[in-house]
Amino acid sequence: MNTKKIYFVCLLFICTNLFGQSTDGFYEKEGNIYYNDNLVTNVAYQENADIIRLRHLNYYGNLILKYFEKTGHYPLQSDSDIPIYVYIANKNQMEFTEIYESAIPFEHKSISFKMLVEEIEKVLGYEIDEFYDPQEYPDAKWNWYLYSINKNNFYLAIHVHQRFPFSKFNSPYSYKVEISNISNRSSNLIVEINELLNSDIFKEEMNRSVINEGYFTDREEKYIHDTKS
């Protein structure tokens, strides 16, 4: 095991113990710790982080809709004839996008999140907040979000720890939730943006109470304008 992986495993172990303690507002119960590929995932933490991830999806989805209302197209739609990928990752998370980026099997163009933020702000006329996956390091799933656009269609994907009625199973403890201006009910499961954001089940899941919400709020504020730092 290389030094980087040892550090990664140790850090996850520390985080698991930190969030498993009742003094931090999280609870510890029998069977709530899973081991996946030698990495430790705390279910109490992840279930609360999933609520935050859904809220972020809702936030970015609404920004995309506001942009479309003003322009009649989606962010970066006319910038390329090939698919465009934007990794919504803070400076500390970006290194974990490299493996995914190198494995994309077709021609595409990657654009920085900073450029996407600037484009949205230019059209909307105000500074937007930036929200990132609350997890600093990946486990069974990505710890970043992905915006992409291919011709006339945009896609915005997050990955969550638990299954939702609107999520697609990727692997144990990794489910994709993806919205677009189109719907794909095949095994890929892409939900039309208005259908998901306006659905009662999505709103219910997104609006659940978060244990130790202050932790997540502090983390959000730390990176709220990361592209400008």
Task: Parse the chain into domains and list their residue ranges.
Answer: 48-228
pLDDT at residue 200, as a whole number = 98
Distance CA 144, CA 200 (A): 26
Residues 97-113 have a mean pLDDT of: 94
User: Higher model confidence: residue 39 or residue 177?
Assistant: 177
Residue 193 has pLDDT above 90, yes or no: yes
> Average per-residue pLDDT in the chain?
85
pLDDT at residue 21, as a whole number = 29
pLDDT at residue 41, as a whole number = 56
pLDDT at residue 216, as a whole number = 95
pLDDT at residue 188, as a whole number = 82
Residue 38 has pLDDT above 70, yes or no: no
Distance CA 149, CA 170 (A): 21
Show the DSSP H helices in the chain as ranges: 3-20, 43-71, 98-103, 113-124, 193-197, 200-206, 213-222
